């Protein structure tokens, strides 16, 4: 220290002399006083060298010192790097309260997205309320608004109705659970206003295939034909020891708000009019036939039907205020007097359905506080939506998102699909219901059995990935849909739709330019990782990079030099006052050359001094990278040797400490866990190599953690996410299987984590029969 002080005092004297010879200089005077006040007397020699260098008057002593030091420092670079890591920790906080613009922009984006997720649905006089706090798995809203127009809505087969227009709410059967498209017993449709038509095919399907197709039914082979003049003609056979042809003609009316009545004005039995005989004998239809089911019963000459149960689940709650029967069908006007008129939301499609608010699940995916439109792909044909076969339609269609999370589902009309023509492996409409049910319960039994099989696929978690047991199933069946009470039925199950397992999602990235934010990122040659939420049990939220960490299991990435320069210039150096500016990096003869500007102690001199450094970058341990320059040039004059000769570390002249990186002594130490914008990247470094392409980082493989298994037909450039629950846009995907690619790019795909909404909104998403998502970033035409 005494030697260093003597050098420093002589340096101050030389600086005074230089100033006297070359005239007074404010910067020189400032430097002299400031450096003395810091007791950094040794640093004055460097300032003298810098000032004389500027006038091309550097002393030969300086050049000699530089030359002497350059031969001795290269051999000690590795040991110096290790010491830099061992002696101090890389900073985890910034010296300034200023937040990098990149993080501030992401925070604003996240706040805007949260406002969208937190909205309460309200439209056309209808509204829902939030009953529970908003979470990553639950919007807290138990109902959805539904609008529909010009949709041929089928529950299954021909059972359904043509919706001209409708406003309704969807209410989950189990509070706290979402509406589940795959489970029609999970929801009640409360119709507030609308007009629907049942044509001959639909009326026939309801009577012949649902109401009276069960073991022991007194009626069969029924056909219903609506006629002008307000009448219905029903033909079929009734059982009177043998099957006897019967014809009924009459009209439909409402007995009360819940019961629809068909009153027979004319009866034919075996081709013979029976009206006068029945009147004379005081015989009613109820005397001839025994009809008493949960849906329909005979009361005198009236067939009394429960409006809410006229079709298989979902349950319908509707108030019929007008019935108009013609050859085109029976047109019902529906109005519960809560919606004076339907005011279509701005996002309502010209043809199709719109669902807003609440949580709605289909297969693995559950849009939260949903804003989803179902629209036809072909506008030239009727749009038939078959609820019990919607998965076939979704698998044949595609999704599009906007950046705010609104979802458009583009579907082919069901009759155009091959599965509709084939009728499936079993056609429930041709099956007979059980005698105990007294209606054709085979529809829902078949649907629930198919659902149970599908759930085995959606909820399967390989043993190697399980960290907790899957939730137990709770049986629920057809009777529950009608009575609101639990009733077990084989093949039926209700699970906690918001959870599948606690396994953390796995990700495999292959040959992808993976950007964390902006220009900051890597070229990933091949990488396996695990996305781990910071709060156990939570899904991974793609929109909130502070919410999860990425644990690297193994692989290799390249940090291109422009991306590494962006890491500094767009992120690490985004604060004032700072000591470094506009860094550029390039490889030269196996070393890394860094050019840029410096200001001593963040403020002196008033201009950036052009600086060039060259040195090695190594992995000091499994977590830290160290860059230790063996050559430093300021204003083109070598300075490294002089600094070392005087034992003056760079850190004392150009202090630099930011989250994840700090100048320690003469070494720049990177903490690869925290140096990048969130999420935290945690990997065990195996090595770092300077190449022309960039800094190649290799990570040790952790054999104890299972890795994702991409599809066998995966391309050459893709991202694959498997297992665990992931939230993208406003949609929770449980036990995810998501494949991301860019079909328009035969080379290397670019994936931007912070900008994924923007990129996905330009492309298309397809859902497979197994509920997996295929995300194509190619701009749709």
* Ranges 457-466, 555-564, 574-583: which has the least confidence: 457-466
Given a cut of 50, whether residue 308 has pLDDT beyond it is yes
Quick one: pLDDT at residue 89?
58
Given a cut of 70, whether residue 46 has pLDDT beyond it is no
User: Where would I find the beta strands (DSSP E) of 474-603?
Assistant: 506-517, 520-533, 540-541, 548-559, 580-588, 591-600
Better pLDDT: 388 or 429: 388
Classified as helix, coil or strand, 578 is coil
Quick one: pLDDT at residue 423?
60
Element (H, E) at 396: helix 390-396
Given a cut of 50, whether residue 154 has pLDDT beyond it is yes
Given a cut of 70, whether residue 21 has pLDDT beyond it is no
Give the pLDDT band (50/70/90) at residue 425: very low
152 bridge partner residues: 162, 384
* Ranges 94-98, 527-531, 578-582, 777-781: which has the least confidence: 94-98
Q: 404: which DSSP letter?
A: T
Average pLDDT, the chain: 84
Given a cut of 90, whether residue 389 has pLDDT beyond it is yes
Given a cut of 70, whether residue 682 has pLDDT beyond it is yes
Interval 702-741: pLDDT, tens:
999 999 999 999 999 999 999 999 999 999 999 999 999 9
CA atoms within 13 A on the CB side of 327: 1
CA atoms within 13 A on the CB side of 613: 21
* Ranges 179-188, 222-231, 415-424, 684-693: which has the least confidence: 415-424
Mean pLDDT, to the nearest integer, of 104-123?
A: 95
Give the pLDDT band (50/70/90) at residue 749: very high
Quick one: pLDDT at residue 243?
95
Give the pLDDT band (50/70/90) at residue 82: low
CA atoms within 13 A on the CB side of 518: 21
367 vs 358: CA distance, rounded Å: 8
Q: What six digits make up the tokens of 428?
A: 């429930």
* Per-residue b or e along 667-686, where b marks 16 or more CB atoms closer than 10 Å to that residue's CB: bbbbbbbbbbbbbbbbbbbe
554 vs 614: CA distance, rounded Å: 30
121 vs 606: CA distance, rounded Å: 56
Residue 289: Cβ-neighbour burial (10 angstroms; 0-12, 13-18, 19+): middle
139 vs 119: CA distance, rounded Å: 9
* Ranges 335-344, 462-471, 619-628: which has the least confidence: 462-471
Q: Could you write out the DSSP letters of every residue in 696-762? A: EEEE---TTS------TT--SSEEEEESS-EEETTEEETT-EEEEE-TT-SSPEEEESTTHHHHHHH
Nearest-10 crossing angle of helices 26-37, 2-22: 160
Quick one: pLDDT at residue 604?
66
* Ranges 73-77, 282-286, 442-446: which has the least confidence: 73-77
In this structure, the number of other CB atoms found within 10 A of the CB of residue 257 comes to 11
Quick one: pLDDT at residue 756?
97
Interval 426-456: pLDDT, tens:
455 568 999 999 999 999 999 999 999 999 9
Better pLDDT: 19 or 165: 165
Give the pLDDT band (50/70/90) at residue 655: confident
Given a cut of 50, whether residue 13 has pLDDT beyond it is no
Given a cut of 70, whether residue 532 has pLDDT beyond it is yes
Give the pLDDT band (50/70/90) at residue 34: very low
Q: What six digits make up the tokens of 237?
A: 């056979």
Given a cut of 50, whether residue 371 has pLDDT beyond it is yes
Percentage of the chain beyond pLDDT 70 is 81
For the chain, what are the domain ranges? 2-58, 140-197+339-419, 200-327, 428-483, 506-560+710-769
Give the pLDDT band (50/70/90) at residue 289: confident
430 vs 410: CA distance, rounded Å: 30
Given a cut of 90, whether residue 109 has pLDDT beyond it is yes
- In this structure, the dihedral spanned by the alpha carbons of residues 80, 84, 87 and 93, taken in order and rounded to 10 degrees, is 180
Given a cut of 70, whether residue 10 has pLDDT beyond it is no
Mean pLDDT, to the nearest integer, of 230-246?
A: 94
Quick one: pLDDT at residue 87?
54
Assess contact for 267 and 233: CB atoms under 8 A: no
498 vs 454: CA distance, rounded Å: 16
Give the pLDDT band (50/70/90) at residue 311: very high
Question: CA–CA distance from 313 to each of 210, 266, 294, 364, 387 (Å)?
Answer: 12, 32, 13, 21, 10
Given a cut of 60, whether residue 1 has pLDDT beyond it is no
Quick one: pLDDT at residue 74?
39
Element (H, E) at 204: helix 200-204
Quick one: pLDDT at residue 334?
97
Q: Could you write out the DSSP letters of every residue in 271-286? A: TEE-HHHHHHTT--HH
50 vs 609: CA distance, rounded Å: 10
Q: 464: which DSSP letter?
A: G
Quick one: pLDDT at residue 8?
41
């Amino acid at each position: 220290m005494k030697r260093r002080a003597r050098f420093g005092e002589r340096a101050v004297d030389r600086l005074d002399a230089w100033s006297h010879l070359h005239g007074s200089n404010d910067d020189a005077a400032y430097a002299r006083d400031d450096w003395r006040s810091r007791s950094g007397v040794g640093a004055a020699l460097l300032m003298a060298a810098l000032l004389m260098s500027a006038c091309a008057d550097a002393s030969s002593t300086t050049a000699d010192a530089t030359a002497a030091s350059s031969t001795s420092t290269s051999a000690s670079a590795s040991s110096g790097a290790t010491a830099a890591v061992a002696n101090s920790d890389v900073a985890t906080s910034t010296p300034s309260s200023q937040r990098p613009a990149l993080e501030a922009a992401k925070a604003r984006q996240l706040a805007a997205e949260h406002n969208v997720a937190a909205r309460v649905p309200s439209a056309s006089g209808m509204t829902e309320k939030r009953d529970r706090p908003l979470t990553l798995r639950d919007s807290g809203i138990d109902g959805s608004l539904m609008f529909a127009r010009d949709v041929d809505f089928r529950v299954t087969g021909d059972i359904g109705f043509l919706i001209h227009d409708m406003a309704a709410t969807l209410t989950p059967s189990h509070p706290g659970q979402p509406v589940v498209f795959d489970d029609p017993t999970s929801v009640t449709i409360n119709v507030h206003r609308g007009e629907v038509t049942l044509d001959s095919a639909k009326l026939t399907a309801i009577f012949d295939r649902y109401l009276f197709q069960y073991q022991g039914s007194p009626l069969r082979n029924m056909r219903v034909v609506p006629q002008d003049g307000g009448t219905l003609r029903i033909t079929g056979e009734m059982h009177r020891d043998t099957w006897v042809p019967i014809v009924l003609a009459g009209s439909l009316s409402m007995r009360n708000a819940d019961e629809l009545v068909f009153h027979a004005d004319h009866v034919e039995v075996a081709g013979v009019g029976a009206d006068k005989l029945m009147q004379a004998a005081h015989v009613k239809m109820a005397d001839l036939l025994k009809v008493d089911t949960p849906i329909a019963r005979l009361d005198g000459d009236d067939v009394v039907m429960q409006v809410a149960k006229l079709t298989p689940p979902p349950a319908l709650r509707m108030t019929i205020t007008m019935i108009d029967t013609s050859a085109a069908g029976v047109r019902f006007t529906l109005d519960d007097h809560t919606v004076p008129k339907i005011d279509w939301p701005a996002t309502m499609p010209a043809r199709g359905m719109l669902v807003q608010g609440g949580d709605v699940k289909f297969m693995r995916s559950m849009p939260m506080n949903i804003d989803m439109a179902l629209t036809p792909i072909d506008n030239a044909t009727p749009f038939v939506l078959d609820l019990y076969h919607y998965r076939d339609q979704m698998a044949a269609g595609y999704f599009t998102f906007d950046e705010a999370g609104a979802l458009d589902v583009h579907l082919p009309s069901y009759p155009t699909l091959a599965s509709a023509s084939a009728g499936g492996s079993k056609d429930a409409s041709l099956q007979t219901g059980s005698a105990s049910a007294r209606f054709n319960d085979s529809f829902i039994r078949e649907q629930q059995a198919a659902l149970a099989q599908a759930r085995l696929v959606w909820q399967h978690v390989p043993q190697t990935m399980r960290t907790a047991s899957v939730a137990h199933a709770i049986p629920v069946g057809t009777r529950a849909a009608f009575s609101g009470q639990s009733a077990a039925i084989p093949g039926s199950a209700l699970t906690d739709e918001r959870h599948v397992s606690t396994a953390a999602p796995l990700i495999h990235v292959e040959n992808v330019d993976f950007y964390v934010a902006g220009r900051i990122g890597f070229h990933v040659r091949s990488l396996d990782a695990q996305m781990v939420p910071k709060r156990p049990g939570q899904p991974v939220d793609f929109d909130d990079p502070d919410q999860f960490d990425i644990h690297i299991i193994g692989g290799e990435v390249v940090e291109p030099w422009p991306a590494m320069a962006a890491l500094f210039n767009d992120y690490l150096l985004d604060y004032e006052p700072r000591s470094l500016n506009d860094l550029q990096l390039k490889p030269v003869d196996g070393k890394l050359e860094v050019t840029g500007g410096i200001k001593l102690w963040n403020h002196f001199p008033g201009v950036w001094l052009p600086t060039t450094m060259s040195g090695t970058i190594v992995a000091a341990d499994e977590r830290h990278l160290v860059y230790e320059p063996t050559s430093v040039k300021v204003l083109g004059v070598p300075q490294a040797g002089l600094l070392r000769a005087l034992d003056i570390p760079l850190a004392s002249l150009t202090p630099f400490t930011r989250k994840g990186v700090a100048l320690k002594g003469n070494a720049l130490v990177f903490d690869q866990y925290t140096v990048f914008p969130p999420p935290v990247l945690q990997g065990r470094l195996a090595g770092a190599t300077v190449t022309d392409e960039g800094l190649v980082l290799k990570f040790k493989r952790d054999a104890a953690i299972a890795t994702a298994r991409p599809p066998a037909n995966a391309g050459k450039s893709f991202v694959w996410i498997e297992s665990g629950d992931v939230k993208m846009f406003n949609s929770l995907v449980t036990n995810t299987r998501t494949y991301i690619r860019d079909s328009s790019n035969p080379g290397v795909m670019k994936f931007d984590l912070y900008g994924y909404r923007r990129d996905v909104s330009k492309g298309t998403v397809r859902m497979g029969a197994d509920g997996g998502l295929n995300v194509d970033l190619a701009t749709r035409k």
